[in-house]
Structure 1
Amino acid sequence: MTPRERVGAVLDVDALLADPGTRIVVCCGSGGVGKTTTAAALGLRAAEQGRRVVVLTIDPARRLAQSMGLVELDNTPREVAGVDLSAGGRLDAMMLDMKRTFDEIVVAHSTPDKAEQILANPFYQALSSSFAGTQEYMAMEKLGQLRAQADRDGSWDLVVVDTPPSRSALDFLDAPARLGSFLDGRFIRLLSAPAKAGGRAYLRAFSAGMTAVTGALTKVIGAQVLKDVQTFVVALDSMFGGFRERADATYKLLQDDGTAFLVVAAPERDALREAAYFVERLARDDMPLAGLVLNRVHDLDPSAPSAERALAAAETLAEQTGNPLTEQLLRLHAERVRVAEREVLITERFTGAHRLVPVRRVRARAQDVHDLPGLREIGADLAG
């Protein structure tokens, strides 16, 4: 099939979900395009078709919990009630708690005394709660844990990931490596060297070379903060073996044939521009792209009047002092047609530049989805 023949190729979501080789589905894209709802709908549809699914969301608005009828989600997968299990499937859901995930890693990879020291460290507390890139790194860490548990005890055969709401869709791929490089980098290790120095002679020689650096840092961030960082890094180094290696391991998991990326976008310029960047990045990093989910699309009814005809009819009614309600409805229809036409043009720019990317369109709805029936409707749209 030539690239020209592939233009407008349709994404077969049901085939993707039914394939036992699909072990991880990652929903990615810029913020506000419906990733959370898409992830939940995919998880529900897969479960009701017989897959054992866990959905991992990183959504502070907790919309996934509401949609699935749960009081709340936390760092532990919980079974979703009301799912049709007649096909033998199962649906669990959880929401990432990045600090708790970080704490669990500390406890799992250190002695009780060392863990207590790290957990009480002020620099660690700030890092685990709000440091840039921590959420994205912990999302990857939790994904790795879920996949390892699935391989170990067969709890799930499909993990659906709703990526963090970031300024840029690329943050999900870039931030973990940045955090890993920071924690495993030369500068941090340099700061930790005085505390790990084995002899006084070495420490005196090292201190002579570090005096200017540490003096400047002390003026900027304070002596206590610098001491907290040094203490934290020494403890971290003894138990982790390098954050960059952990990020690299999860990166390889994302490149595996059992992983499928679904880029989610709205038919808007900025969202599709982000989607284009992500598609190109996935290709460059040799990551398996399944296709694009184009969310909140306004359908064009070929039999309906054009915007020009609707506006002309509205003007005629206005001149004839006709029915004002009908006039307003005609104007509203004209605006909807123009929105739909604009969405088509914007989408065609993306599909023209990325001819080999299959697309699945999901129609816009009058209100947000907050329950399982609504998620089933979204899932039906995704399946076509």
Structure 2
Amino acid sequence: MSKHPQFASPAAAADAFLAPGQAVGRYLLGRNEHAAALLDIPAIAALVDGIIDDRATEPAWRGKPVLRGEQVAAPALAVNCSMSISPVSAARRLAALGFAPLHYADLLEARPDLVPAPPFVAEMRADLAAHANEWAALAERLADDASRAVLRDLVAYRGSAHPRHMAGYTVRFDEQYFEPFMPLHGETFVDAGGFDGDTTEQFCRRDPAYRGVILFEPSGANIARARERLAGRPNIRFEEMGVSDAPGTLSFDPHAGSASAVSSSGTVSIAVTTIDEAVSEPVSFIKMDLEGWEMRALAGAARHIRADHPKLAIAVYHSAADFRHIPAYILGLRDDYAVYLRHYSEGWSETVMFFVPRTRRDTLQDQ
């Protein structure tokens, strides 16, 4: 039997969480921007008794005590505020602890006048409303039913933040950028946004006969880790630079790990180049995950895309508009690509769009 109160529906749990005077503890799962958004609302902050975080070492966060799930005294309600990577696993964790199903999305649905839509939700809703025809055309352009299912699920999740739409997904970072429909045979690989070499390491394992790798990463600390990780791998060129649509310098935030990005509030200046200028040899596979800078970097790789017809694996999850803009740009350079979509987390992040070169024979067979 659950030690925490159960409700007829998530809506009833949300109403109970938001109602003052209830004889129940109230907790938020996760120390992130979504929990912070709730605590920024005085009426909600006054109700919240603490934060659940099984990995935390600090005793408090934003004025609230931080506890492991097992430390929460019954009766209590807990709101799942995980949305980026593991919201489904977070929901399972709360269920295992006996909590009623309750997500940020349920609070948003119950009180949209009080609870702010997460930025990725507000952005998705606005983009879909303004460009419905382009989203429909994108679904038609995708190469397989699996891609269309991914798009359908992501539109539903990014428009609501409810993890029920992501129940069939898992976190599988090791598979990101590599799929059976895009076999590797002696590639020349450009890793744009190489971080600490993790993707290049996976590439080398999957294509041991590769011709060469050019890894671009503007963080010196990350480049050092990449060199260490890839020591002994031949034919890898490390470029301590970012990639963009023109050479120059840009502001950069180097302190966000794999999410480090070009930013107007960045604390350091980095050198940037273009793939077209920095890479003279033909390339056969370009991967990009640049925290929202992909469109600018693609413009700087236009010559290689036109001339070499490389395989492309491009992150599209940083904004809703990227789902539309990135394929429109690439297919405007060359329309002889099959387009696939795959997703590698339980939340809104880590979506990759693949562009697989089509031969003239493929095109004729489709006609």
TM-score class, shorter: 0.3 to 0.5
Largest Rg, 1 or 2: 1
Larger helix fraction of residues: 1
Q: Name whichever structure is richer in strand by fraction.
A: 2
